[in-house]
Copies of this chain bind each other. A is one copy, B any other.
Amino acid sequence: MNIFWQEFPVIAEALEKVSGIIQDICASQNPIIAEGVSALFDGKGKLLRPGMLLLAANFGKKQDKHLKLAACLEILHMATLVHDDVIDDSPLRRGVPAAHVRFGKRDAVLIGDYLLSRCFLLAAEYTSAVNAVNLGKLLSRMCAMEIEQNADRFSSVMNLRRYLKKIMGKSAILFSLACHVGSSEAKAPKNVTEKLRRAGYDIGMAFQIIDDMLDYSGNADAVGKPLGNDIKEGFVTLPLICAMMQDVSGILRSFFSKPSFTVDDPELIIKLVCENGGIEGARAYAEIYTNRAIREIAQLPNGEARDMLEKLALKLLRRDR
């Protein structure tokens, strides 16, 4: 059973089926694709986006196609991760070598494309044309935001506003879509779907902030990749932005005094971020988004579905991996 979802047995059980669907849909006679797929979907992922889609479906009439759509979103997420890892040169993904390390960048780009093709195939078959178009638009926005993020690498001009816009485009909108698709395809009332869409957005924002925080303060073994990856790659994230605002000594700010910066000693930056309240600052923002999500959730119809969603939002805030 999926460890992350063990407190939500109904969802955990459904996610077992989703995993099976992912394996079936992504199966290939090509040995490299087959190996890539089985490494990516090894059962250790949280399956967060599919889980949220299924939770949102509980507010209407859940159908078999929800399992397919849940699979679709996880495959999309994985495709973007494979391409991200190629782009960022990340050596590890969930503690095992990333696809491009195993198969080379050539095949990793193609495995990502293959996954995108499987995702769209599921969307075309199981969702309304409107939701399929929305999925296409979502991927467009995610790509545009990643490109913006690349342009900001090693640039000192990053600030809170830019950061929040970025994590919205690269992460929160997928959580938001998960809730929207789950609810709308379950024919939940429109105002419920709209509230779920917003709650998904806020949960996604908090999720990404915690992710970026764990890159500074997490346990590398638990997170499954080395710490300080973001700053090594030149990405300025929220803990650093928060720490700079509180940096009394000015040492941390001095590294970022020119329009572009270099990272000679990432360990020192991590240390200074932790010493200058960067972790607490980032966590405070994650709490703001989580609380906003919980206020949205409180307006949803009373019942088990609502309780589960609230529990999930809080669990994601407190996670250490």
Contacts and interface: CB of A to CB of B under 8 A. Distances in A.
B30 A111 contact: no
A32 B147 CA distance: 8
Interface in A114-156: 114, 116-118, 120-121, 123-125, 129, 132-133, 135-140, 143-144, 146-148, 150-151
Interface in A86-108: 86-87, 104-107
A194 interface: no
Contacts of A110: 83, 87, 143, 146-147, 150
A109 interface: yes
A136 B109 contact: no
A202 B136 CA distance: 32
Given A30-B147, A144-B30, A147-B30, A124 B129 contact: yes
A33 interface: yes
Contact of A113 (B124, B125, B133, B143): B143
Contact of A109 (B83, B125, B129): B83
A28 interface: yes
Given A87-B110, A109-B83, A33 B144 contact: yes
Task: Kindly name the residue among A80, A113, A139 whose own CB sees the greatest number of chain B CB atoms within 10 A.
Answer: A113
A84 to B, nearest CB: 9
B109 A86 contact: yes
A204 to B, nearest CB: 19
Contact of A140 (B105, B117, B143): B117
Contact of A120 (B132, B143, B146): B132
Interface size bracket, A side: 35 or more
A151 B104 CA distance: 11
B114 A143 contact: yes
A139 to B, nearest CB: 4
Given A87-B109, A116-B139, A139-B113, A133 B144 contact: no
Contact of A107 (B29, B112, B114, B150): B150
Contacts of A107: 147, 150
A144 B28 contact: yes
A117 B116 CA distance: 9
Task: Kindly name the residue among A80, A118, A140 whose own CB sees the greatest number of chain B CB atoms within 10 A.
Answer: A140
Nearest to A28: B144
B109 A137 contact: no
Contact of A143 (B111, B123, B136): B111
B121 A123 contact: no
A143 to B, nearest CB: 4
Contacts of A113: 80, 83, 112, 116, 139, 143
16 contacts: A30-B144, A32-B147, A83-B113, A112-B113, A113-B143, A114-B143, A116-B139, A117-B139, A120-B124, A120-B136, A121-B136, A121-B140, A124-B124, A124-B132, A124-B133, A125-B133
